[in-house]
Amino acid sequence: MRSIELALEGGGKVLLAGLVFGAGLPIIYALGMRLLTVGAVETTSANGPETVRYSTLGKGMAALLLAVIVGAVALGITLIAASGFGKAVSFEHVIPTIVEKK
Protein backbone atom coordinates (compact mmCIF):
# COMPACT_ATOMS: atom_id res chain seq x y z
CA MET A 1 0.00 0.00 0.00
CA ARG A 2 2.95 2.33 0.53
CA SER A 3 3.71 2.23 -3.21
CA ILE A 4 0.30 3.71 -4.08
CA GLU A 5 0.88 6.53 -1.60
CA LEU A 6 4.33 7.24 -3.08
CA ALA A 7 2.94 7.17 -6.62
CA LEU A 8 0.19 9.64 -5.74
CA GLU A 9 2.69 11.89 -3.97
CA GLY A 10 4.98 11.90 -7.01
CA GLY A 11 2.02 12.48 -9.32
CA GLY A 12 0.95 15.44 -7.20
CA LYS A 13 4.39 17.03 -7.56
CA VAL A 14 4.30 16.53 -11.33
CA LEU A 15 0.80 18.02 -11.48
CA LEU A 16 1.90 21.06 -9.48
CA ALA A 17 4.94 21.63 -11.69
CA GLY A 18 2.76 21.27 -14.79
CA LEU A 19 0.31 23.86 -13.48
CA VAL A 20 3.05 26.31 -12.54
CA PHE A 21 5.05 26.05 -15.75
CA GLY A 22 2.34 24.90 -18.14
CA ALA A 23 -0.52 27.19 -17.18
CA GLY A 24 1.10 29.61 -14.78
CA LEU A 25 3.32 31.43 -17.27
CA PRO A 26 0.55 32.00 -19.85
CA ILE A 27 -1.68 33.31 -17.07
CA ILE A 28 1.06 35.74 -15.97
CA TYR A 29 1.48 36.85 -19.60
CA ALA A 30 -2.26 37.43 -20.01
CA LEU A 31 -2.35 39.37 -16.74
CA GLY A 32 0.57 41.49 -17.92
CA MET A 33 -1.21 42.34 -21.16
CA ARG A 34 -4.35 43.17 -19.20
CA LEU A 35 -2.43 45.39 -16.78
CA LEU A 36 -0.94 47.26 -19.74
CA THR A 37 -4.34 48.89 -20.25
CA VAL A 38 -4.57 50.22 -16.67
CA GLY A 39 -5.04 53.96 -16.99
CA ALA A 40 -4.84 53.91 -20.79
CA VAL A 41 -6.48 56.76 -22.68
CA GLU A 42 -8.10 56.15 -26.07
CA THR A 43 -8.64 59.09 -28.43
CA THR A 44 -10.38 59.27 -31.79
CA SER A 45 -9.55 61.93 -34.35
CA ALA A 46 -11.93 63.39 -36.93
CA ASN A 47 -10.37 61.19 -39.63
CA GLY A 48 -11.30 58.06 -37.77
CA PRO A 49 -8.08 56.38 -36.56
CA GLU A 50 -7.95 55.70 -32.87
CA THR A 51 -4.84 56.09 -30.77
CA VAL A 52 -4.19 54.55 -27.37
CA ARG A 53 -1.81 56.12 -24.87
CA TYR A 54 -0.73 53.69 -22.16
CA SER A 55 -0.01 55.00 -18.67
CA THR A 56 3.37 54.68 -17.03
CA LEU A 57 1.85 52.59 -14.23
CA GLY A 58 0.36 50.09 -16.69
CA LYS A 59 3.59 49.86 -18.66
CA GLY A 60 5.60 49.31 -15.48
CA MET A 61 3.36 46.55 -14.16
CA ALA A 62 3.30 44.81 -17.54
CA ALA A 63 7.09 45.06 -17.83
CA LEU A 64 7.52 43.57 -14.36
CA LEU A 65 5.35 40.55 -15.17
CA LEU A 66 7.06 40.04 -18.52
CA ALA A 67 10.43 40.13 -16.75
CA VAL A 68 9.19 37.35 -14.45
CA ILE A 69 8.32 35.26 -17.52
CA VAL A 70 11.71 35.89 -19.15
CA GLY A 71 13.42 34.91 -15.89
CA ALA A 72 11.42 31.69 -15.61
CA VAL A 73 12.23 30.72 -19.19
CA ALA A 74 15.93 31.51 -18.68
CA LEU A 75 15.96 29.44 -15.49
CA GLY A 76 14.29 26.52 -17.27
CA ILE A 77 16.84 26.61 -20.10
CA THR A 78 19.65 26.80 -17.55
CA LEU A 79 18.34 23.74 -15.68
CA ILE A 80 18.06 21.73 -18.90
CA ALA A 81 21.48 22.79 -20.19
CA ALA A 82 23.20 22.13 -16.84
CA SER A 83 21.78 18.62 -16.58
CA GLY A 84 22.85 17.95 -20.18
CA PHE A 85 26.45 18.76 -19.24
CA GLY A 86 26.30 16.58 -16.12
CA LYS A 87 26.09 19.53 -13.74
CA ALA A 88 23.46 20.85 -11.34
CA VAL A 89 21.98 24.24 -10.53
CA SER A 90 22.44 25.47 -6.96
CA PHE A 91 20.27 28.11 -5.28
CA GLU A 92 22.58 28.33 -2.27
CA HIS A 93 23.19 32.10 -2.63
CA VAL A 94 19.69 32.88 -4.01
CA ILE A 95 21.12 33.49 -7.50
CA PRO A 96 21.11 30.23 -9.52
CA THR A 97 24.65 28.96 -10.06
CA ILE A 98 25.82 25.98 -12.11
CA VAL A 99 27.87 23.61 -9.93
CA GLU A 100 29.28 20.09 -10.14
CA LYS A 101 26.84 17.31 -9.22
CA LYS A 102 27.44 15.79 -5.81
Type of residue at 84: G
| Per-residue pLDDT reduced to its tens digit, 15-71 | 888 877 788 889 999 999 999 998 888 888 788 778 888 999 999 999 999 999 999
Can you tell me the distance from the alpha carbon of 64 to that of 22, in angstroms, rounded to the nearest whole number?
Answer: 20
Query: What local confidence, expressed as pLDDT, does residue 19 receive?
Result: 79
Contacts with 98 (C-beta within 8 Å, 6 or more apart), sequence order: 78, 82, 87, 88, 89, 90
Query: What local confidence, expressed as pLDDT, does residue 61 receive?
Result: 95
Can you tell me the distance from the alpha carbon of 24 to that of 57, in angstroms, rounded to the nearest whole number?
Answer: 23
pTM over 0.85: no
- Total domain count, the chain: 1
Query: What mean pLDDT is predicted for residues 68-94?
Result: 91
Domain of 68, in residue numbers? 2-100
Query: What local confidence, expressed as pLDDT, does residue 1 receive?
Result: 66
Q: Which residues pair with 89 in a beta bridge?
A: 98
